[in-house]
Every structure is written in structure tokens, then in C-alpha cells.
Structure 1
Amino acid sequence: MKDRLHFPLVVLAAAILAGAMSFVGNDYYLRIVFMMCVYYLCAAGMNVLVGYAGQKSLGQAGLFAAGAYAVALITTGTEVNPWLALVIAAGISGLCGVLIALPSLRVKGPYLAMVTLAFGIVVEKIVGEWTEVFGGATGIYGIRPLTWDDEPLTSQQWVGFGIVLCAVTHLLLRNLLRGRFGRAFLSLQADEIASSSVGVRVYRAKVIAFVVAAVTCGIAGALVAQQNQYINSDFITFHLSIFILLLVLFGGAGSQYGPLVGAVILTLIDALLARWPSVQHFLYGFLLLFALYVMPGGVTGLFAKWFRRPAQALQTGSAGSESTRIGPKGEGELLIAQGVTKHFGGVKPAQNVSFQLQRGHIHALIGPNGAGKSTMINMLTGLIPPSEGSIRFLGQEISGRPVYSICCMGMGRTFQNLRLFAELSVLDNVMLGRHSRMTNGFFASMLMLPNARKQEVATRDRALQLLDLVGLSHLAHQPAGSLPYGLQRRVELARALATEPQLLLLDEPAAGLNPQETAELGQLLVRVGKCGVSILMVEHHMDLVMSISDHVIVLDYGVKIAEGKPSEVQSNPRVVEAYLGVDEPEGATATA
């Protein structure tokens, strides 16, 4: 009900505010409200980048300048309509966002922040010193403003347009962040490896986040230039980048209303302290540290618990229903590994390993510690490339393919050490598994077109069905990280199943489980197998392996020493020797 009312309530609030501003005659007050709108646009996009995608950026002043100077040069040097110039400036800012995003494939955290800071400083120097084009401190005059009926907008009309633009931005970003792309952004912040393992194209998602932040910031810069009909290098400073970051962190990063709260409060503070610039800079630094260390959730984080909806138990069908079909029916070879070798310098955790996995079977990959089992799983899923050999899945060579691509082909996995998105709910974790199976694109999601709504509903229903299969439907709205360890293992399994795998790779799924939980896991894996999913599990619990496996492969120091049915492997002398060792003759011991 609240979701259905949100759109009309936002429209009503924007109409009331815009109407109220038409009765305000003081240009100073109108200017403050207009700057609130400008700073909200900057903060809303920055919130997508920092609060959701977790990418640190200190170059927003450069993006603000891209929009401002683009619209200035277009409107003073051509006869292009000012409204069209605003749109072109937004596009140019988006291209600058792509430029900043390029290093994000190689650098992270503070290194990424330094790269974006360098971008901002370079832009600041260019607009300040390339006077022939950008005017430097003198600036560019005569920027054509937005018009209505061939007349420049009045102060009240500028504020009204700003309010409408903020409302539209809020609604579009809300649609985007509450759906497929919002979950993908949050997964980047939590764990990029786990994100790629469920089919998220990590680099593309980062670029999208940078572009969103760049476009909104560029629009804000263009609005300031057109409203003032003037822009110079004094507008583009490092302090602006810090202020935009502060808007997000102080209001509440990751909250949809945080940018609004930050923009309103800090714009008022900025206006009150306008006569004392040194005090402004000191206060911004203090508030930034305060937000980071004392109030990490921002202002909205202090009140979030009051508005958080209580989790409700979901009534679904019986747990573990075998009618849940995941993989296709069929027989034959599913995966063929031929001569797979991996070496890290002189260490070879896999040496000329060959095996085949059959459809409809539960396979086990066993061996002593250090045998190379996890390395083999990581090579099969694309996390690390093999040094030599061939891996064919569904008849296609997958060696060297990115992780998300292998996942999209139909190979899911879990990890030896849990890689859940702990801050997200159990349901959102499983819905993330469906990311690669959803086809709604960026604009369809942002506009929440009928196809996007339909896929979102279908994804939620499928996630609930899989949670029902693993017996966790009643915990769907709980944070995944708050569950007991054994239940977190099941959440990770459900997330992997949500990728719709034909082959499921489990890296020590029973690690850390007690005997009862291990027995229940064995029963669950048998049910999963009946749903059309072939399984390859790395496991140390021999009771589990021998009770449910159809085929066992044994590695020792990276070499395959045996394979076959569980009973055959159990009696193999080389396997017994690898696990238990062999007694040396007394004479050999004396000689030694």
C-alpha cells in the first residue's frame, strides 16, 4: 500500500512546494531553496555511487564543471536551444563519468578516491588556466538561461523547475535502486567476488553508478550556470567535492532520503556561514569526521529504526517440495575437464587433472588438505584461469571466460568461507541470484515499465519458492548476517540455486555444521538433485560423501589418484594411503 501511495504523495508534495514558492518574493530566500535543489541533485547521484555501489569519489567538482561549462560554451557559441543545451550538458557529464570509471577496474578503495581526486584537480586547473576557452577567473558571461514563452525564467519559476526536477530524480532513482540494479550495486559494496558469482557484471555496474552520479551532478552544474548566466573557475574547487560527499554522508549514505536531508540542512548552514568562509571549511571538515566516526548512518540512520517495517513471516508451501524444477532433464556429459593444470610459480595445486561430470549425478571431489580441491572449483567457475588444459561446459570451452559469463551459462557455486551479502535480507540475497536471469535493462528499470515490474514480481516469487525448498521461507526478511551459521549456509545454497544452474559446485558445504545439520544437508542435496541440478561438492565429511554421492574423484597434491563409485574409492589403496599414510618397514626407519 505504501509503495502504491508513494508516487502520488511525491507529486503532491512537489506541487505544494512549487506553489508555495510562487508566493515568496524575496530573491535571497528563493536562491537558498534553489541551491537546495541543486545540491540535492548532486547528492542523489553521489548516493548511488557511494551509498549503494560503495565506490569512493572525490571528483564531483570536475563533473559539476563539465555540466556548467558545457552548457556555457554551447549557449554562448551556438544558437542551440537552452533546454537542448541542458540535455547535451548532461550527456557530456555522463561521458566524463565513464572516463572516471575506467580506472575502477584496477583500483579500489582509497586508490580509487585518489584517482577521482586527481580528475577533479585536473579539471579545476584546466578551467582556471585555459583562459582562451574557459575564461579562467574572468569566466564566461552571457550564458542563455532557460526560457518559458520566450522569456527567461523568473526566480520563482527557477525554484519550481528545480523542485519538479528533484521529484522526478527521486522517483526515477527510487525505481532503479529498489529493483535489479539496486541489488547489484549493494552486492558490489559487500563482496565483488560473490557478486560476479551470481551473474552481476561488476565492471559494467560500476560504470553505471559513475554515470548516474555524473549526469545528476552535471545537470546541477548546468542549472547553476544558466540561472546565473555566468560561470567562472571560483565555482569549481576541491571544497565543492568535499561538500557533495558531506551531503551524502551527513544525510545518510545508502538511504533514499539521506541526500534530501543533507541538502536541506547543509544548505541552510552554508547560507548562515556565508560571511565566514574559514568557519565554513572548518565546520565541513568537522561534520565529515563526525559523520564518519560518530554517526555512520547519517541523520536518517538515527531515525531509521523508528520507520523500519517489522519482518513478517511468509506463508508458503511445504519445505523441500520436489515440484521445484531448476535444471533441465536429460543424460550425458555435462562438463569435461582435460589435462587441467595450474601453477603459481613452483607450486602446482593442479597437475594434468582430467574428469567428466554427468547430468543428474551427485559428484564429490575429495582429498587431504592442500590437495587442490578449492583451486579446481575456482578454475571451473572462472575465478582463476587454468595454466594449461581444457574445460568444456555444455559443449563450450569456458577457460578464460569471466565469472559472470560462466554463471549465465548455468554453473552456480557456493564458497568455502561464506560470502553472503550480510547486510541484505535473506530474500534479497536469493533475488540477487536471479540477476542474470532478468532481462529488464537500465531504462526499463528506472522507468519501472510493465516488463520490469513483471520480472521483479516473478523474481520475488521464485526466490520465495527456493527459500521454501531449503526451509527458510519464514526468515525471508531477516538480515542474512544475523542468522546462525548453519542457516547462512542454506541461504548461500538458495542463492546459488536462484542462478538456475545445471551444475552446482559446493565448496565444503558442511564446514562448521554439527552432525545433525550435516545429515539434514545431505537430505537437502538429494532433494536438490531431484530438481534437475547436477552437483559437484568438495567435502571432508566422508559420511556425507559416501551416503549421497554417485561418483567420487580423489586428488592428492594436485594429482588425481582415483575416481569411481564411493565403494570403489573407499577400498582403493592409494586413497587409503593418501588419507591415513602408510607404515614404513622397520629397516627403512632404522636406516633413516
Structure 2
Amino acid sequence: MKRLAHPLAVVLVAAVLCGIVSMSGNDYYLRIAFMMCVYYLCAAGMNVLVGYAGQKSLGQAGLFAAGAYGVALLTSRTDMDPWLALALAAVISGLCGVLIALPSLRVKGPYLAMVTLAFGIVVEKLVGEWTDVFGGAQGIYGIRPLTWKGAPLDTTQWVILGIVLCAAMHLLLRNLLNGRFGRALLSLQADEIASSSVGVRVYRAKVMAFVVAAVTCGIAGALVAQQNQYINSDFITFHLSIFILLLVLFGGAGSMYGPLVGAVLLTLTDALLARWPSAQHFLYGFLLLFALYVMPGGVVGLFNKWFMKSRHRGEGAGGNGVPGQIGPGGEGELLVVQGVTKSYGGVKPAQDVSFRLQRGHIHALIGPNGAGKSTMINMLTGVIEPDAGSIRFLGRNIVGQPAHTICCLGMGRTFQNLRLFADLSVLDNVMLGRHSRMSNGFLSSLVAWPTANRQEKATRDRALQLLDLVDLGHLAHWPAGSLPYGLQRRVELARALATEPQLLLLDEPAAGLNPQETAELGELLLRIGKCGVSILMVEHHMDLVMSISDHVIVLDYGIKIAEGKPAEVQANPRVVEAYLGVDDEQEEPQAHAVAA
């Protein structure tokens, strides 16, 4: 019943609004209400792109045009049913979203905004100057409106339709964003490399966000065209793209209610300033700057600060026990590295490096600073591609495979410098680790299919078990970035374990920890090893390495100089020389020998 509370509340509010609209006979107010619905549809999809995925777009006017002109051409030049034309207009806009996404996602930041801006300008010029098809300034007349019982919708019915569509869109996007895909999109905004390392297909997720924003904007454009029964190039301007972006930023990007607040407030402002277009443009520019620099969380963000404070004062969500098994365990070779080489100009962090890792063992990769240890971890996990050599994991060559594919095969990792999703809760961070192990797809998540709900519950329960394993269950709902450094290290470890790795790569897990925390980490790694997970750790704390490792590999300036059991490596002269150097009296004869 708790899961149905929100949908029932939305239906009730929508019914009340429809009742109020039915009793209103003022066409002017109804027109404003209709435009609120239109702008909400634009903003709701844009919020997925900007607020969740973190992709700035200035080309929404072009997607609005795709829906508007799509429905205009389909209904004015064919006998197609207007309702079917509306659905096809949404499809056309989605395809345009794919077209704009594919080239746009090769760039980031302000360059992405410029590419999308170029798309919007191209569409604006196209509909303005290709008069044979789009009518230019004269536009397209005779667009058939939506009908009900054989009669065109009147103004009141248009508003009711808008309210119903907005309520449905809110519920669908809430289903999508409060689960697997919402977490994935938020992870993109925080750190794409970390996101890929837990199995998120970064490029596909970005395209999905563009398509969602395109479809909602296209529906909005189609509704405007059908309600007016007319569309021309004056509707498609750069001003519209800025206004749609402002709806999200001013209302509150990343909030489910931000687009609604933005649509209501700015539509009313737009109506009040309709007589003074210059004042409109000045105000929108001012509000955009204000939202970006003074109120980055938007109007909704002001209230969220208090809500989040009160929420995180509560108790945690532990008490689910610890997992008995994480990896498959077993014996035999797990990873084979053969002749791996990597160079950056004259710097060679890996020179013909070869080694083998066995199942059920804790391996350590050690060496002085600059030895190439982190580079090796990045090559194993697909962040960096080696220049030569092979890396075989579970018998499969993974060189050239993307990071998310390697994660799905069963290789998890942590980072030398913490890469947590700091604004997300501890629980959400660990649940993100389960992303690649969840099987619910886009459509089942969108409609909250029972299988998707079961997947979400199972993922949550597993994440809580892993948090109990690292003694963080009581902090599950705290923002990950608010925890002390040592606890953040444990969150990242739990997130890596959530990927269900057969091999866990730890890049300096004890960095920044005090002696007591380091000792506790050693005990934790031994417990993890007993859960069926093989470990390869890069570490400088020799006490930790020698106390828990079964096998040690030593690198120096990208060259493997030793490997074997901890005691053997510790006594190896080359290892001692790499860490401690040699006496000047020993160096001098060597220098003379080289000179000779």
C-alpha cells in the first residue's frame, strides 16, 4: 500500500484540478493553465537530461519543432487520425533526440552546449527558410486538432488533457528515476569513470536521457500545434530553448518537483510580462544567472536543505546480516597478464609486464612511487588500453573492452583517489554497484512492472548486507561525501563488492588511514577473501601487505623485478634496492663499470 500512496495522491490532485478547470469559463486563464502543462512536459524531460544526467542542452527548441511540425505535416497532408499523429510526433522527436545525441556526446561541458545550440539554430533556419515544406513565416494551416466523440476538443478539454498527460508523465518518470536508471544517470553527473567501473553503460545512458527529453518536448510541441491548428517559424526560437532550460534550473534541477514549480512560476511571469517583450528577455537572463550562481538548487532546493537535514538525523537501516558468499571461490588461474606495455612519450609505466593471479588468493602489487602500479590497475579494468600485450580474464582477452564490460565479467575495483558519488546516499552508492546485476530494462522500470520492483527490493537488501559487512549499515541514508575519509573508503569497498566480483582490485585501500583503521582493513580484507573473492591490491603499507598477502608482485619503473611469497619478496636484493637504494660506495664502482 505504501508504494501506491504516491500514485493515488497524484491521481487525486489531478482529479481535483480537472474539476476546478471544468468549472472555469475564462478562456484566458484556461490558456495560461494549458501552457503550464505544455511547459511542464518540456521541463520534465529536460530535467532528466540536465538535472540527472548532467548534460547541458540548448537545442530543445529544435525538438519542440520536431513534434510540432511532425504532427502538422501528418494531419494537414494526410488523412491520419490526430491521436495517432500525436503518437508518431513523439516517435519523430525521439529519433531526432538520437540524432542530436550521437555527435553531441563526443564532447563535454560547454562544447556539448554549443553542439546542441547549433542543432537548434539549424532547425530554426530550416523551418524558417524551407517554405515549400514548412511554410516559413506563413506557417502551416489546417492542422487537425484532437477530437473527443467526433468533435474537436474545446479549451477546457485541452487543459484537462494537459493535466492528465502531466500526471502520467510525472508518474512514469518517477518510476524510472527512483530506481536503477535514475541512479545510473546521477552517477554520470558525478563521475563517468566511476560510473563505468560499476557497470553503467555511460554512452547508452546519455542517449537514453536525450531521447526522454526529446520525446516529452516533442509531445509538448505537437499539443501546441494541434491546439492552435497552426504553426509557423515564430514558435521556434532560441528564446524557447533558454526558457525551457530556465524552467528546470529555476524550479530545481534534479528534483521531481522542480519542473512543476518552474513551469507554474515562470508561465505566470511570462503571462504578466507579455506586453513587454524586452522586459521578458531581460528577466529571463537575470533569473538564469540568479539560478546558476545564487540558487543552484532552484526553488525546490531551498526546501530540500531542511528536509535532507531532518532525514539524515534518523537511524540507519542496517540489521540485515552479512552475505555468506560474494564470489564463486574455487581454484585455478583467474587472470593472466602477458607482455603488457604502455608508454606516454618517454615515460613507460609498463614494460613487458607478465604475471598470473590465482583464485582464492590475496595478491599485492607493490613498488616505489611512479612504478606503474595504478597504471596497471587501470589497464586491467579498461580505463586505459595497453600498447601491447594481452590480458586474459576467465580465459577471455579483455584488452580493448570498455570498463563496464569488464565489470560485468566479474572484475570490481576501487580507486587511488576516492571516486564516490558524494551527493548520493551511502546506500545508493552501494546499490549502484549492483547496476550490472539487475535485469529490469527501461520499459519495465518506466511502468513499475512487478519484476522491476522485485529487482529493486533485492538490490536494496543486498546493499544493506554489504554495508553490514563493512560496518556501515547505520549510516546507510547519509550522503556519502559527508562521512570521514576512512569511512568513505569503506563505502567505496562495499560498492565494489556489490558488483559481485570474482576479482577485486584495490588501489591503495589503506591510503590516509591511521594504524588502527589499517589493521581493521586487513581483517576486513581477510573476511572478504573468505567470501569467495580473489583480491589484487596496490599498497604502500608493507605491514598490511606482508600480513595478509599470499603472493606479491613488485614493479619498479614499469618493470617487474620480483614476485613470490611475501617473505621471499621481502628478502629479494632487487626489491630492497628499489625501495631503499644502494650505498654510494656500491654505486661508484657500478658507474665506473658502465663508463668503461
**TM-score interval (norm. to shorter):** over 0.9
Measured after TM superposition, the shift of residue 332 of structure 1 is 0.3
Q: Secondary structure at the match of 2:353?
A: strand
Aligned residues: 590
Q: Does 1:310 align with 2:311?
A: yes
Please list, as runs of the form range in 1=range in 2, the aligned pairs for 1:183-582 lying within 5 A after superposition: 183-308=183-308, 310-311=311-312, 312-314=314-316, 316-317=318-319, 321=322, 323-582=323-582
Measured after TM superposition, the shift of residue 316 of structure 1 is 3.9
- Tell me, in whole angstroms, the C-alpha distance in 1 between the residues paired with 2:137 and 2:23: 36
Q: Structure 2 counterpart of 1:397, which letter?
A: N
CA contact (8 A) 1:127 1:134 kept: yes
- Tell me, in whole angstroms, the C-alpha distance in 1 between the residues paired with 2:136 and 2:530: 70
Q: Deviations over 1:220-273 (max 9, x none)?
A: 000000000000000000000000000001100011000000000100010111
* Cα 1:307–1:588 shift into 2, 3 Å: closer
Q: Secondary structure at the match of 2:311?
A: coil
**Amino-acid identity (%):** 82
Q: Deviations over 1:339-375 (max 9, x none)?
A: 1111112221101111000000000000011111001
Measured after TM superposition, the shift of residue 443 of structure 1 is 0.7
- Tell me, in whole angstroms, the C-alpha distance in 1 between the residues paired with 2:283 and 2:76: 37
Measured after TM superposition, the shift of residue 298 of structure 1 is 0.7
Measured after TM superposition, the shift of residue 465 of structure 1 is 0.2
Q: Secondary structure at the match of 2:23?
A: coil
- Tell me, in whole angstroms, the C-alpha distance in 2 between the residues paired with 1:282 and 1:461: 51
Measured after TM superposition, the shift of residue 74 of structure 1 is 0.3
CA contact (8 A) 1:197 1:407 kept: yes
Q: Deviations over 1:509-543 (max 9, x none)?
A: 00111111111100000000000000000000000
- Tell me, in whole angstroms, the C-alpha distance in 1 between the residues paired with 2:299 and 2:582: 66
- TM-score, scaled relative to structure 2: 0.97
Q: Which residue of 2 aligns with 1:92?
A: 92
Q: Which residue of 2 aligns with 1:148?
A: 148
Measured after TM superposition, the shift of residue 310 of structure 1 is 1.8
Runs of 4+ residues deviating >2 angstroms: 1-4, 305-309, 311-319, 584-592
- Tell me, in whole angstroms, the C-alpha distance in 2 between the residues paired with 1:347 and 1:387: 13
- Tell me, in whole angstroms, the C-alpha distance in 2 between the residues paired with 1:230 and 1:151: 18
Higher alpha-carbon deviation: 64-73 or 18-27: 18-27
- TM-score, scaled relative to structure 1: 0.98
Q: Secondary structure at the match of 1:331?
A: coil
Q: Which residue of 1 aligns with 2:121?
A: 121
- Tell me, in whole angstroms, the C-alpha distance in 2 between the residues paired with 1:508 and 1:263: 48
CA contact (8 A) 2:317 2:475 kept: no
Measured after TM superposition, the shift of residue 106 of structure 1 is 1.7
Q: Secondary structure at the match of 1:167?
A: helix
Q: Deviations over 1:278-323 (max 9, x none)?
A: 110001001111111111111111112344452332464487x4x5
CA contact (8 A) 1:324 1:465 kept: no
- Tell me, in whole angstroms, the C-alpha distance in 2 between the residues paired with 1:447 and 1:128: 39
* Cα 1:317–1:590 shift into 2, 3 Å: closer
Measured after TM superposition, the shift of residue 5 of structure 1 is 1.2
Q: Structure 1 counterpart of 2:346, which letter?
A: G
Higher alpha-carbon deviation: 17-26 or 490-499: 17-26
- Tell me, in whole angstroms, the C-alpha distance in 1 between the residues paired with 2:571 and 2:401: 38
Measured after TM superposition, the shift of residue 4 of structure 1 is 3.2
Q: Structure 1 counterpart of 2:423, which letter?
A: E
Q: Which residue of 2 aligns with 1:174?
A: 174
CA contact (8 A) 1:324 1:469 kept: no
- Tell me, in whole angstroms, the C-alpha distance in 2 between the residues paired with 1:248 and 1:326: 41
- Tell me, in whole angstroms, the C-alpha distance in 2 between the residues paired with 1:175 and 1:408: 25
Measured after TM superposition, the shift of residue 23 of structure 1 is 1.3
- Tell me, in whole angstroms, the C-alpha distance in 1 between the residues paired with 2:481 and 2:337: 35
Q: Deviations over 1:446-490 (max 9, x none)?
A: 101000000000000000000000000000000000000000000
Measured after TM superposition, the shift of residue 105 of structure 1 is 3.2
Q: Structure 1 counterpart of 2:561, which letter?
A: I
- Tell me, in whole angstroms, the C-alpha distance in 2 between the residues paired with 1:356 and 1:588: 37
Q: Deviations over 1:130-170 (max 9, x none)?
A: 00000000000000000011110011100000000000000
Q: Secondary structure at the match of 1:585?
A: helix
- Tell me, in whole angstroms, the C-alpha distance in 2 between the residues paired with 1:303 and 1:121: 37
Measured after TM superposition, the shift of residue 583 of structure 1 is 1.3
Measured after TM superposition, the shift of residue 571 of structure 1 is 0.5
CA contact (8 A) 1:562 1:572 kept: yes
- Tell me, in whole angstroms, the C-alpha distance in 1 between the residues paired with 2:294 and 2:568: 61
Q: Structure 2 counterpart of 1:457, which letter?
A: K
CA contact (8 A) 1:104 1:206 kept: no
- Tell me, in whole angstroms, the C-alpha distance in 2 between the residues paired with 1:590 and 1:151: 98
Q: Secondary structure at the match of 2:505?
A: strand
- Tell me, in whole angstroms, the C-alpha distance in 1 between the residues paired with 2:307 and 2:350: 53
- Tell me, in whole angstroms, the C-alpha distance in 1 between the residues paired with 2:562 and 2:386: 21
Q: Which residue of 2 aligns with 1:21?
A: 21
Q: Secondary structure at the match of 2:584?
A: coil
Please list, as runs of the form range in 1=range in 2, the aligned pairs for 1:45-56 lying within 5 A after superposition: 45-56=45-56
Q: Secondary structure at the match of 2:296?
A: coil
**Residue ranges of structure 1 left out of the alignment (5+ in a row):** none
* Cα 1:317–1:25 shift into 2, 3 Å: closer
Q: Structure 2 counterpart of 1:310, which letter?
A: R
Measured after TM superposition, the shift of residue 77 of structure 1 is 0.8
Measured after TM superposition, the shift of residue 19 of structure 1 is 1.6
Q: Which residue of 2 aligns with 1:103?
A: 103
Q: Secondary structure at the match of 1:511?
A: coil
Q: Secondary structure at the match of 1:310?
A: helix
- Tell me, in whole angstroms, the C-alpha distance in 2 between the residues paired with 1:380 and 1:99: 33
CA contact (8 A) 2:69 2:134 kept: yes
Measured after TM superposition, the shift of residue 324 of structure 1 is 2.4
- Tell me, in whole angstroms, the C-alpha distance in 2 between the residues paired with 1:541 and 1:22: 72
- Tell me, in whole angstroms, the C-alpha distance in 2 between the residues paired with 1:379 and 1:422: 25
- Tell me, in whole angstroms, the C-alpha distance in 1 between the residues paired with 2:235 and 2:554: 66
Q: Secondary structure at the match of 1:537?
A: strand
Measured after TM superposition, the shift of residue 20 of structure 1 is 1.3
Measured after TM superposition, the shift of residue 3 of structure 1 is 4.5
Q: Structure 2 counterpart of 1:438, which letter?
A: M
- Tell me, in whole angstroms, the C-alpha distance in 1 between the residues paired with 2:286 and 2:320: 55
- Tell me, in whole angstroms, the C-alpha distance in 1 between the residues paired with 2:211 and 2:535: 40
How big is the alpha-carbon RMSD for the aligned residues of Structure 1 and Structure 2? 1.4
CA contact (8 A) 2:430 2:498 kept: yes
CA contact (8 A) 2:318 2:467 kept: no
